[in-house]
Structure 1
Amino acid sequence: MNIELLKNIVDYGIIGLLGVMSFIAFWFWIERILFYKGIDVRNFKTKEELEIALTNNINIISTFGSNAPYIGLLGTVFGIIITFYAMGQSDNLDAKIIMTSLALALKATAMGLLVAIPATVFYNHLARRIEVVLALWDINEKEKYANQKV
């Protein structure tokens, strides 16, 4: 078993992937906020067309929010495997070294949560904004219909 490769997967692969996911989630959140600020519901012919425009890219934020803890957990499992392997190869079992290694293994789970929590908040914030804009569409349509009756 190539432990160095496993260490690199945890340190660079898992943590790096979580960092990229965090950046992308933040980027799409900012992009959607700016899009929602400039949207005019009167520019859309149908509610479905508006809904498609509003929901663009938010599934990525949701996916990152729901999967980041699992990616972090995978990194933690790899870290624990590394710790147990090192314990099995060592003649000297020092509790301090074992506890330090296990604590470091948990960094991937912590990173996963640090990505998931904000991504979930971003998604919920955008979902609420979508509801508001769609309600504005409904209000606009009712006003348009009422003005046509008069």
Structure 2
Amino acid sequence: MELLKEYLDYGVIGLLGFMLFVAVAFAVERWLYYRQVAVERFGHLETFHTALTRNLTIISSVGANAPYVGLLGTVLGIMITFYDLGQGGDIETQAIMTGLALALKATAMGLLVAIPSILFYNALMRKVDVLVAEWKRVHES
């Protein structure tokens, strides 16, 4: 239990930081790709759509799962707080509130990772829709 108590914050926040890094890296990669993609180069719409949506699933997955990683950190933090209370026998309001407040930071961090990831995903999907419409205009005229 002491090991979990000592490394919980580092583990959860480290994982969320990695998830944010991955989401931002893929979002930047996709944005740069969309800026230089040549619609005329693709003969089939399915091939074009596949090229456009590569790595978007990862960004979406980060946005969808980051709150759950944060929630897991919060639940484990609350469990540690209750365990400490059960071991000590004393019920100090300050100790309880401090433990719960520290546990809730994991949920906040999860939301701070999820919100930009979902925004990146939605913006990139809008760009995919625009590029597909442009492909249809070029190839159907």
Provide the TM-score with structure 1 as the length reference. 0.91
Aligned residues: 141
Partners in 1 of 2:89 and 2:65 — Cα distance?
38
Pairwise CA distance, 1:92: 2.7
Partners in 2 of 1:29 and 1:8 — Cα distance?
33
- In structure 1, the residue matched to 2:124 is 126
- In structure 1, the residue matched to 2:98 is 100
- In structure 1, the residue matched to 2:86 is 88
Pairwise CA distance, 1:9: 4.5
Pairwise CA distance, 1:5: 2.0
Q: Aligned letter for 1:10?
A: L
Cα RMSD (Å): 1.0
Pairwise CA distance, 1:14: 1.4
Partners in 2 of 1:121 and 1:12 — Cα distance?
26
Q: Which runs of 5+ in 2 are unaligned?
A: none
CA displacement, residues 6-44 of structure 1 (integer Å, 9 cap, x when unaligned) = 224521221111100001000100000000000110011
Query: Which of 3, 6, 23 is the aligned partner of 2:4?
Result: 6
- In structure 2, the residue matched to 1:73 is 71
- In structure 2, the residue matched to 1:61 is 59
Partners in 1 of 2:18 and 2:52 — Cα distance?
24
Contact 1:10 1:108 (C-alpha < 8 Å) held by counterparts: no
Identity %: 55
Q: Aligned letter for 2:17?
A: G
Q: Which runs of 4+ in 1 moved over 3 A?
A: none
Instruction: Name the SS of the counterpart of 2:27 in structure 1.
Output: helix
- In structure 2, the residue matched to 1:110 is 108
Contact 1:14 1:71 (C-alpha < 8 Å) held by counterparts: yes
